[in-house]
Structure 1
Amino acid sequence: MSNLAIEARGLFKSFEGKPAVRGIDIAVPEGAIYGILGLNGAGKTTTLRMLLGIIEPDRGTRSLLGHERPLEAAKIVGYLPEERGLYPAMTTRDAIAFMGALRGLPLDVGRKRAEILLRENDLGAYVDKPIKSLSKGMAQTIQLFGTIVHKPRLIVLDEPFSGLDAINQGRLEHMIREEAAAGTTVIFSTHVIHHAERLCERIAIIAAGEVRFEGRVTEARDRLRPHVRLKTRASDGAWRAALPAGTVQDGGLFEFELPAGGIEPLLKALIDGGAGIEQLSIERPGLHDAFVAIAGPSAPATRSGENGLEIAA
């Protein structure tokens, strides 16, 4: 693994005696797009706030951009909390510049950069619009620009897609990719899995305050076997004995997990038995399927290895 932008070991945090985070381990490579996935209340926000130094862990260690005291790196970090907030009377340009100034960026520089950000994203008409005149989604987009205007080395986004329409979600995904391409590390939390599947190479899945999985998206998906859909002309015959246990039938359509021995022995049995194959597809499980399996109450807490099994769909 490359140099780490964030490393945490054994983070614990309780509130009023109730555990919120139980021994979190996370390692985020520099320049990565890294997702922290979990249901609401899983401990994602508490974890991010401990990583940033906003709250202190009860025990455990963490470093952020080489600093063991994360707040020392605050000026090179952009943070968008789950709770949004802008001054309604400010214009979009001034709101973006103000957020940059909180991280040490001169206001005049911030205003120039704000205008560039707005125009580059086809939002030049909003430069002088007051925040109070914007839709909720547009105001959130402005706050996102304020998170990156000081050109941080690390961007941390807590549920950034919440409340955004499809257009602004696409704009945010494009921004995240651009920042990562420029060498910036991006870490975001979400319970909407398809964003992480499109953007991330590595993820952590958190459930009940614990990391149930940490590794590559491909490794998470490979924990589940591919799913086979088979349609035959014949509905019965000796060939049916070759179908795996647990096969579900609906007329001439059969659904089952890909056998451990692969599809070839099954195909031979179907052909030799006269099943009459009309359709056969092998569907690789998505990250959502893996998330449901891993984050379930009985899922064991594990860290993935580096050798994921690649099965083409």
Structure 2
Amino acid sequence: MTGRSTNPTYAVEGHGLVKTFGDFRAVDGIDIAVPAGAIYGVLGPNGAGKTTTLRMLLGIIDPDEGHRTLLGSDRPLSVAAQVGYLPEERGLYPSMKAAEAIAFMGALRGLPLKIGRDRARAMMEAHGMADAADKKVRELSKGMAQTVQLFGTLVHEPRLIVLDEPFSGLDAINQGKLEALIREQARRGVTILFSTHVIAHAERLCERIAIIAGGRIRFEGTVGEARDRLRPQVRLSTRVSDGSWRRALPADTVAENGAWHFSLPEEGIEPLLRALIDGQAGIESLSIERPGLHDAFVAIAGEAAAQAMAGATSASEEDA
């Protein structure tokens, strides 16, 4: 099968993707569609199938079942020059100078070396790294070396950028710089697809996410849609500790740290407010908190997956 996608609004599509290694089914029937121009995150613990999925979408490996299209083509390698890919396994020649390393990575995608060198120095200068342009990669800090590799992923000005665990091993400052770079590319209309086990990055950056666990997509949609799967939580503090108004509190109400905690009733907060006021409960404070993406992830993928994510995040922070 050759040709173009029937839906050009998607930069990346995968349908029924399956990949097995020996007796291990790493990816088990994944469907994914990344809108053109979006920042899209694939969120899940290590071993969930994120990297295998990205590699199938890029054409690095072929699926055992299913099909995929990349930038409108069902032959992903034919559009490789329009893609920037940062694999999870980082790799630069340690004896190569930083600017040359960036230009070399661009040349692998068809960018002339002279243009690559000029762009490399301009990118490094724009991000406060001009002094490092002529340093050898082995002389750079870990964060700076990863930034150089990221520049090499961007230097040929791709239409699609695919980043596999891009925040791994970076300290908070360099993570912030990477987030800024991702937003900068998105403003140019570039599609960003990245995998991560860090929920906070997906919550801050992504327009849409796919939550993956056990080789399957457990959720696909916007961050808001994921959070809306859980009802908002209410914290209520009253001057009076008992009275007829207590019967109006929802069944899941618990008392904790001097306040009442419960899920927002389906009918809204207004009927409860009336009961509290009529019963002279003496409202001191009332706040409604929308669940975060972490809470939604636990509800969708399970506590075990969330704990695996937290463990991987802690290990990554220790390496930074």
TM-score tier (shorter): over 0.9
Partner of 1:132: 138
Q: What does 1:49-128 align with in structure 2 at a 5 Å threshold?
A: 49-128=55-134
1: CA distance, partners of 2:17 / 2:256 = 49
Which SS does the other structure have where 2:201 is aligned? helix
Q: What does 1:296-307 align with in structure 2 at a 5 Å threshold?
A: 296=302
In the alignment, which of 295, 298, 304 is matched to residue 292 of structure 1? 298
Structure 1 runs (4+) deviating above 2 angstroms are none
Identity among equivalent positions (%) equals 70
Partner of 2:195: 189
TM-score by length of 2: 0.91
In the alignment, which of 222, 246, 262 is matched to residue 228 of structure 2? 222
Partner of 1:158: 164
1: CA distance, partners of 2:25 / 2:133 = 45
**Gap runs ≥5 in structure 2:** 1-6, 306-320
In the alignment, which of 283, 286, 290 is matched to residue 280 of structure 1? 286
Number of equivalent positions: 299
Supply the RMSD in Å over aligned alpha carbons.
1.4
**Contact 1:235/1:251, CA 8 A, preserved across alignment:** no
What is the letter of the counterpart of residue 245 of structure 2?
W
2: CA distance, partners of 1:280 / 1:36 = 35
2: CA distance, partners of 1:181 / 1:204 = 22
Q: CA deviation at 1:298?
A: 10
**Contact 2:8/2:72, CA 8 A, preserved across alignment:** no
Which SS does the other structure have where 1:132 is aligned? helix
**Contact 1:32/1:180, CA 8 A, preserved across alignment:** yes
Which SS does the other structure have where 2:235 is aligned? strand
Provide Cα deviations, 1:10-59, integer angstroms capped at 9, x if missing partner: 00011012111011000111111000001111100000000000111001
2: CA distance, partners of 1:152 / 1:251 = 52
Q: CA deviation at 1:250?
A: 2.4
In the alignment, which of 26, 31, 35 is matched to residue 37 of structure 2? 31
TM-score by length of 1: 0.93
In the alignment, which of 203, 206, 210 is matched to residue 209 of structure 2? 203
Q: CA deviation at 1:236?
A: 1.3
1: CA distance, partners of 2:72 / 2:275 = 59
Q: Is the counterpart of residue 44 in structure 1 residue 46 in structure 2?
A: no
Q: CA deviation at 1:2?
A: 7.0
